């Protein structure tokens, strides 16, 4: 993947040096995320979210990181590049469709941080909060992606960011609100609707990848890297690793095959209209 460091992104907020902050009460969105994690990993993330972390940043100012490895520094530069270029792409795509794009923000943190959806924790992995329209990521996730899930490479990391940005697109288009209403009206379909929402974000990531071809960002093997990352975080693979068996009824993001299929569909078409995961899976 061809990219250049040195971007001074106004949409990336670095909280890595804050050392943890006092936490706001857990909102509904955050509770759902923690409930899903509790089901998948068999740990009580909900109970642990009641704990608070000392507030050493009450002024709200962003503190610089106290220490930073060479790998982490490089990851920060990559995050800024991908996040900025992806937002430019989506601004063009939505504007051409008559929709208005509003920039999201991305927050880098360590361990835990307050969010518009409650407490953001490293164990939750990267996530998007529609309440404040921010993406949250602890860069330690990339270490896990490389070592535990066997999905190294710049494009694998880019996939993670653009998947979460896909949720921002859904929020701007009102898709997430429609899904929440449908889940309330039909609780039995809530899990399937959640999976469809996540697979659409995968497809949107592929749409972004398609548009990078004109900018000469892609290199040989990049799409394979993205597909590998999608497969690595499939529900079936994670469940198999954590519990030894697969429970389709507890899928939240889709199987490895589903995630790869929808990413590829977005990449092949370059058209967000091809990402109707709610019609067929």
Sequential DSSP letters for 151-211 = --SHHHHHHHHHHHHHHHHHHHHTHHHHHHHHHHH-GGGHHHHHHHHHHHHHHHHHHHHHH
pLDDT in tens, 184-237: 999 988 888 988 998 999 999 999 999 987 777 776 666 666 566 655 555 544
Residue 240: per-residue pLDDT: 40
261 in a domain, yes or no?
A: yes
pLDDT in tens, 124-136: 888 999 999 999 9
CA 169-170-173 angle, 5° bins:
85
Is the Cβ–Cβ distance between 168 and 99 less than 8 Å? no
Residue 61: per-residue pLDDT: 42
pLDDT in tens, 147-187: 766 666 788 888 889 999 999 999 999 999 999 999 999 99
Average pLDDT in the 21-48 region? Answer: 42
Comparing 266 with 7, the larger pLDDT belongs to: 266
Average pLDDT in the 67-77 region? Answer: 86
3 in a domain, yes or no?
A: no
* Total number of domains in the chain: 1
257 in a domain, yes or no?
A: yes
Residue 250: per-residue pLDDT: 53
6 in a domain, yes or no?
A: no
Residue 46: per-residue pLDDT: 43
| pLDDT higher than 50, residue 40 | no
Extended beta strands in the chain, E state: 12-14, 105-108, 112-115, 118-121, 127-129, 134-137
4 in a domain, yes or no?
A: no
The helix-helix angle for 222-232 and 256-269 (nearest 10°) equals 150
7 in a domain, yes or no?
A: no
| pLDDT higher than 80, residue 54 | no
1 in a domain, yes or no?
A: no
Q: Which domain holds residue 118?
A: 12-274
Percent of the chain scored above 70 by pLDDT?
64
Which of 174, 33, 158, 35 lies closest to 106, judged by CA?
158
Distance CA 274, CA 256 (A): 19
pTM: 0.76
CA 151-153-157 angle, 5° bins:
80
How far lies 259's CA from each of 43, 69, 279, in Å? 25, 31, 16
Hey, which of 62-71, 212-221, 229-238, 253-262 has the most confident mean pLDDT? 253-262
| pLDDT higher than 50, residue 18 | yes
223 in a domain, yes or no?
A: yes
Residue 48: per-residue pLDDT: 40
């Amino acid at each position: 993947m061809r990219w250049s460091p040195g971007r001074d992104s106004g949409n990336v907020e670095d909280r890595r040096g804050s050392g943890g902050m006092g936490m706001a009460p857990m909102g509904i969105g955050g509770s759902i995320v923690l409930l899903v994690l509790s089901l998948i990993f068999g740990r009580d993330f909900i109970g642990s979210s009641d704990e608070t972390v000392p507030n050493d940043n009450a002024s709200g100012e962003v503190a610089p990181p106290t220490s930073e490895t060479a790998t982490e520094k490089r990851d920060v530069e990559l995050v800024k590049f991908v996040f900025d270029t992806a937002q430019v792409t989506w601004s063009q795509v939505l504007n051409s469709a008559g929709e208005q794009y509003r920039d999201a923000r991305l927050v880098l943190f360590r361990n835990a941080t307050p969010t518009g959806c409650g407490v953001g924790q490293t164990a939750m992995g990267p996530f998007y909060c529609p309440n404040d329209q921010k993406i949250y990521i602890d860069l330690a996730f990339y270490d896990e992606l490389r070592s535990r899930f066997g999905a190294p490479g710049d494009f694998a990391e880019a996939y993670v960011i653009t998947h979460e940005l896909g949720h921002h697109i859904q929020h701007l288009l009102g898709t997430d609100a429609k899904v929440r209403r449908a889940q309330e009206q039909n609780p039995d379909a809530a899990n399937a609707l959640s999976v469809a929402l996540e697979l659409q974000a995968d497809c949107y990531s592929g749409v972004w990848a398609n548009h990078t071809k004109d900018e000469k960002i892609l290199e040989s093997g990049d799409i394979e890297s993205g597909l590998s990352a999608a497969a690595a975080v499939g529900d079936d693979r994670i469940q198999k690793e954590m519990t030894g068996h697969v429970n389709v009824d507890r899928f939240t993001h889709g199987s490895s095959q589903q995630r790869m299929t929808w990413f590829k569909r977005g990449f092949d078409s370059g058209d967000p209209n091809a990402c109707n995961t709610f019609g067929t899976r």
